[in-house]
Amino acid sequence: MIRSEVSERLKSLKILELILASLVLLVTVLVHSNLSQVYGTMISVPGWFGAHLAPLFIASAVLIGASGQAIYISLYKWRDAMVKSTTTILYSWVYVLVTLLYTFLLGWVIITLWYSMAWISWSEIVRGAFALEFWVVEVLVGVVVVLALAIYAIARRSFTAMILASIAVFLAGFASKYSLIVYHQLITLSPSSFPMRSNYTPGSDEILILVGAVIVYIALLLVGTLILPLEYGEKPRRLWIFR
């Protein structure tokens, strides 16, 4: 679709761009909600069990995805004043609106699970062994700092504030996912429904998977930047796969 201007046949199929984008959005929402419901069926992990993870996963995916895009686009086009202005407003509004939504959802999740078996692990996150990370990284950095920087970026058209908000979102998003996935598994139910505590340390294979995933993500963005005609009037590269 990016190459549609160089082909009359592709121009006639331009409507496919909207169709493909809509399908990508639909599939992405389904994938994240499906993943959350896989977690939600794990009755042995009370902190996961239930339907509350689906909206949290989707909202978190929007925030983390937006932060990754904003950081990459800003590094790629840091000299382009128009791009900087557009990305500053667009991503700052995404951070404000979706962070408020995520905070609203998370607040009701915690209040609701306070009255269920899930509180045996959530209590450790909210006021127990993992409370410092939750309140400092996820709440202070991920909510208060992000909202303050995003609102300032909108009001002052501050590109720097938007980038700082993007970094804060990325870091807090990683911390929240680690907390959600790992900490709740440390306090699980035995077959006789008694709480069990365990310890966890990331293995070398898990660290390598994480590093590899980040490298692949950045590599795909770089390849797309190099071979696709992203600039107005730019000619496509003469690579055999695009002839």
Give the tens place of pLDDT for each residue, 54-87.
999 999 999 999 999 999 888 877 778 888 888 9
Q: For residue 243, is pLDDT > 60? A: no
Contacts of 171 (CB under 8 A, 6+ apart): 137, 141, 142
| Dist. CA 174–CA 170, nearest whole Å | 6
Alpha-carbon distances of 86 from 93, 198, 213, rounded to whole Å? 11, 47, 28
Q: Is residue 180 packed enough to be buried (19+ CB in 10 Å), middle (13-18) or exposed (0-12)?
A: buried
Domain-embedded: residue 239: no
Task: Count how many residues are written for the chain.
Answer: 243
Domain-embedded: residue 115: yes
Q: How many CA atoms lie within 13 A of 88 on its CB side?
A: 20
Domain-embedded: residue 135: yes
Domain-embedded: residue 185: yes
Q: Tell me what the mean pLDDT of segment 82-98 comes to.
A: 93
Domain-embedded: residue 209: no
- pTM summary value: 0.85
Domain-embedded: residue 228: no
Which has more confidence, 3 or 161? 161
In this prediction, residue 146 carries a pLDDT of 97
| Dist. CA 49–CA 118, nearest whole Å | 8
- Give how many domains the chain has, as a whole number: 1
In this prediction, residue 241 carries a pLDDT of 55
Q: For residue 236, is pLDDT > 70? A: no
In this prediction, residue 191 carries a pLDDT of 67
Q: Tell me what the mean pLDDT of segment 155-164 comes to.
A: 95
In this prediction, residue 226 carries a pLDDT of 80
Q: For residue 34, is pLDDT > 90? A: yes
Q: Which residue segment(s) compose the domain that 140 sits in?
A: 4-200
Q: For residue 242, is pLDDT > 60? A: no
Q: Tell me what the mean pLDDT of segment 143-162 comes to.
A: 96
Domain-embedded: residue 222: no
The answer to whether 125 touches 110, Cβ cutoff 8 Å, is no
Q: Which of 40-44, 68-72, 131-135 has the highest mean pLDDT?
A: 131-135
Domain-embedded: residue 131: yes
Q: For residue 187, is pLDDT > 90? A: no
Reported confidence tier of residue 237, pLDDT bands at 50, 70, 90: low
In this prediction, residue 5 carries a pLDDT of 64
Q: Tell me what the mean pLDDT of segment 91-103 comes to.
A: 97
